[in-house]
């Protein structure tokens, strides 16, 4: 049995674009496979911004970075049912940030799962994201 990966990610730059949301936006963003490498910065003060990931087949070998730029808003990252591993659950459909500026998540897909690596902007707490 080989441990060779089925999806190679070596030639993908970590960050290739930055997209900032705004309080006047519609508070939802559909993330596409072509957005791989994009840093999404949520600036939706006082609201929740929802980012919807593509299907697992389209997300294979892709990654996205999500950054909360406000201390008064949350980010929700939603994917296929029970296919996000991260935060406090291994089979989540969504992960939700804390309302702390600089909370962030890197989401990587291997075609079977979305892996969410999260951190909180809070100085005394690490990774305070919840799942749904």
User: Structural domain of residue 120, as residue ranges?
Assistant: 17-131
For residue 47, tell me if it sits in a domain.
Answer: yes
Band of pLDDT at residue 128, cut at 50, 70 and 90: confident
Whole-angstrom distance, CA of residue 100 vs CA of residue 48 = 12
Question: pLDDT (tens digit, 9 = 90+) per residue, 2-27?
Answer: 454 555 555 556 777 788 887 666 68
| Total-model pTM | 0.84
Provide the mean pLDDT of the chain.
Answer: 84
Into how many domains does the chain fold?
1
Question: pLDDT (tens digit, 9 = 90+) per residue, 36-70?
Answer: 999 999 988 778 889 999 999 999 999 999 999 88
For residue 9, tell me if it sits in a domain.
Answer: no
For residue 11, tell me if it sits in a domain.
Answer: no
Pairing of strands 63-68, 94-96: unpaired
Considering only CA atoms, which of 23, 128, 123 is closest in space to residue 86? 128
Is residue 73 within 8 Å of residue 42, measured between CB atoms? Answer: yes
Whole-angstrom distance, CA of residue 43 vs CA of residue 102 = 11
Q: Give bridge partners of residue 63 from the DSSP assignment.
A: 108
Band of pLDDT at residue 86, cut at 50, 70 and 90: confident
Domain harbouring 87, CATH code: 2.60.120
For residue 67, tell me if it sits in a domain.
Answer: yes
What are the respective helix, strand and coil percentages of the chain, to the nearest 5?
A: 5, 40, 55
For residue 2, tell me if it sits in a domain.
Answer: no
């Amino acid at each position: 049995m080989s441990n060779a990966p089925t999806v190679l990610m070596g030639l993908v730059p970590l960050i290739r674009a930055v997209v900032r949301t705004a309080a006047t936006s519609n508070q939802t963003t559909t993330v596409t496979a072509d957005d791989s490498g994009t840093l999404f910065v949520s600036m939706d003060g006082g609201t929740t911004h929802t980012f919807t990931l593509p299907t697992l087949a389209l997300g294979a070998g892709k990654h996205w970075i999500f950054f909360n730029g406000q201390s008064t808003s949350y980010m929700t990252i939603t994917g296929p049912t029970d296919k996000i591993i991260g935060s406090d659950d291994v089979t989540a459909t969504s992960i939700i940030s804390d309302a702390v500026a600089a909370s962030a998540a890197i989401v990587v897909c291997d075609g079977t799962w979305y892996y969410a690596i999260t951190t909180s902007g809070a100085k005394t707490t690490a990774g305070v994201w919840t799942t749904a």
